[in-house]
């Protein structure tokens, strides 16, 4: 059996004379070496980068930060003795680079460091999928998120209203934006309004607009949110908080496809697709008389339910890595990975605030992290070491081990339950019984 050597690509940026002297030995060791100036790095691809750090980079670090943030590789700084003496160079290198070398080079040490960086770059490439494309906004590989993406692809081309239900923080507005983006109306406006965040005395004007002089303070005509969404999509978030009087006006608009501004008498035709979202039980609200039954049936033509994060087994790590990259630009720090302790703590947390809570905890972790990885304490979660071990019965240990085994196998084989059952060495019916027993999926 012939083993094909792994291609290792090295990019040397702004090479100095010492760098040029190093290159023949690296090529002999199997590295494919290329070089360029900093401004041309975006056009090259590499596994490991070698950058000669100069005073100008420290004075204007944005270009280097952007280069490292956007590349899926590990970078090594090359430092002269003069640069080493500059203020804050240590903090900058520790924050943004995998390692550094001072001139002149120690060839054997350089080769070892390049090998470690190459291994880390490959590992990072496998663990972190880039998510720049809009179609990847609904991130995750769990069964609930895959079924959600499939359902949205079916519902998006229709013109029917959709009621989006789910706990707070599960991404209901993201679902609405996905429906709009995949619809025939994608080039037209997407207008969102939170029915619970606008004072009751203003919400009619916000939704329907008003004419000049309609009330005190109405100094000019105002186009409402419904009219502003003409041709596109209107998203009514927290529809359950809409006052009863406005529910009647909204129902009339859904039936007649036209509105009247406050203080006006001229009907205005409006063509929009209406999406609504709620985290409350609308059926119970109808039974209590706080939500109109006829409006409920008008809005609940098609329905989408967003799963809470605790039911999306295997998605927490991928989402956390996404938020680490996303918020690194805001915090001005390099995206960080998560320690094993942090991953365990995130896996054991129940996430009452769902994806919104995860995003906020990662944001906090990026700011507080002192090492190269985000720890459980940086996320505000209790680490495994900090939890005092409590003795339990043998049956309790068996129960926990059984549940952990199910979660682990689902993280790897959630798309094929037959394979998951075989991995655990049980029949498919037994596997389903265990899932039901532990209330998983």
Instruction: Kindly state the tokens that stand for 42.
Output: 């975006």
CATH of segment(s) 135-307: 3.40.50.300
How far is it, in rounded angstroms, from Cα 208 to Cα 225? 7
**Which pLDDT score is estimated for 151?**
95
| 67 or 246, higher pLDDT | 246
Which architecture, in CATH terms, is 8-127?
A: 3-Layer(aba) Sandwich (3.40)
Specify whether the CB–CB gap between 400 and 391 falls below 8 A: no
Single out the residue of 74, 77, 79 nearest to residue 115, CA to CA: 74
pLDDT(265) > 80: no
pLDDT digits over 104-119, tens only? 888 888 888 888 888 7
Mean pLDDT of 255-282: 88
Specify whether the CB–CB gap between 332 and 293 falls below 8 A: no
Mean pLDDT of 134-146: 76
Specify whether the CB–CB gap between 145 and 307 falls below 8 A: yes
Beta bridge partners of 36: 13
Q: Do domains 135-307 and 311-379 have the same CATH topology?
A: no
**Which pLDDT score is estimated for 10?**
87
> pLDDT band at residue 133, thresholds of 50, 70 and 90?
very low
Per-domain residue ranges for the chain? Answer: 8-127, 135-307, 311-379, 394-437
pLDDT digits over 420-438, tens only? 888 888 888 888 888 878 8
pLDDT(391) > 70: no
Beta-carbon count within 10 A of 80 CB: 16
The verdict on domain 311-379 having CATH code 1.10.8.60 is: yes
Instruction: Kindly state the tokens that stand for 433.
Output: 């019984």
Cα-based torsion angle of the residue sequence 402, 406, 407, 411 in order, rounded to the nearest 10 degrees? 150
> pLDDT band at residue 41, thresholds of 50, 70 and 90?
confident
**Least confident residue range of 21-35, 220-234, 366-380:** 21-35
Average pLDDT for the chain:
83
Mean pLDDT of 381-387: 66
Residue recorded with tokens 């063509």: 271
> pLDDT band at residue 441, thresholds of 50, 70 and 90?
low
């Amino acid at each position: 059996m012939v083993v094909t050597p792994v291609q290792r690509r090295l990019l040397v940026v702004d090479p100095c004379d010492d760098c040029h002297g190093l290159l023949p030995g690296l090529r002999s060791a199997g590295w494919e070496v290329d070089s360029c100036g900093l401004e041309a790095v975006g056009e090259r691809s590499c596994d490991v980068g070698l950058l000669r750090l100069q005073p100008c980079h420290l004075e204007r670090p944005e270009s280097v930060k952007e280069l490292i943030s956007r590349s899926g590789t590990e970078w090594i700084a090359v430092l002269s003795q003069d640069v080493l003496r500059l203020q804050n160079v240590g903090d900058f290198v520790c924050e943004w680079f995998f390692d550094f070398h001072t001139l002149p080079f120690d060839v054997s040490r350089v080769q070892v460091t390049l090998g470690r960086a190459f291994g880390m770059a490959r590992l990072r490439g496998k663990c972190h999928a880039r998510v720049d494309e809009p179609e990847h906004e609904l991130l995750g590989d769990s069964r609930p998120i895959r079924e959600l993406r499939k359902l949205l692809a079916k519902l998006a081309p229709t013109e029917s209203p959709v009621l989006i239900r789910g706990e707070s923080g599960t991404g209901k507005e993201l679902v609405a934006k996905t429906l709009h983006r995949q619809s025939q109306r994608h080039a037209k406006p997407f207008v969102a309004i939170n029915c619970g965040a606008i004072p009751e005395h203003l919400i009619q004007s916000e939704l329907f607009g008003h004419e000049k002089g309609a009330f005190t303070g109405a100094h000019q005509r105002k186009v409402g949110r419904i009219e502003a969404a003409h041709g596109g999509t209107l998203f009514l978030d927290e529809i359950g908080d809409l006052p009863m009087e406005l529910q009647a006006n909204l129902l009339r608009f859904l039936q007649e496809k036209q509105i009247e501004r406050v203080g006006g008498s001229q009907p205005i035709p409006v063509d929009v697709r209406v999406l609504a979202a709620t985290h409350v039980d609308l059926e119970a609200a109808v039974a209590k008389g706080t939500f109109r039954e006829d409006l409920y049936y008008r809005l609940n033509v098609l329905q989408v339910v967003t799963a809470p994060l605790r039911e999306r087994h295997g998605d927490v790590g991928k989402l956390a890595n996404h938020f680490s990259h996303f918020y690194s630009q805001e915090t001005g720090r390099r995206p960080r990975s998560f320690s094993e302790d942090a991953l365990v703590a995130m896996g054991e947390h129940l996430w009452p605030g769902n994806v919104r809570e995860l995003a906020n905890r990662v944001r906090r972790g990026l700011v507080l992290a002192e090492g190269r990885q985000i720890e459980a304490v940086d996320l505000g979660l209790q680490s495994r070491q900090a939890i005092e071990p409590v003795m339990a019965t043998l049956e309790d240990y068996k129960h926990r081990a059984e549940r952990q085994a199910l979660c682990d196998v689902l993280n790897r084989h959630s798309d094929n339950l037959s394979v998951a059952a075989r991995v655990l060495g049980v029949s498919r019916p037994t596997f389903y019984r265990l899932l039901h027993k532990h209330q998983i999926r």
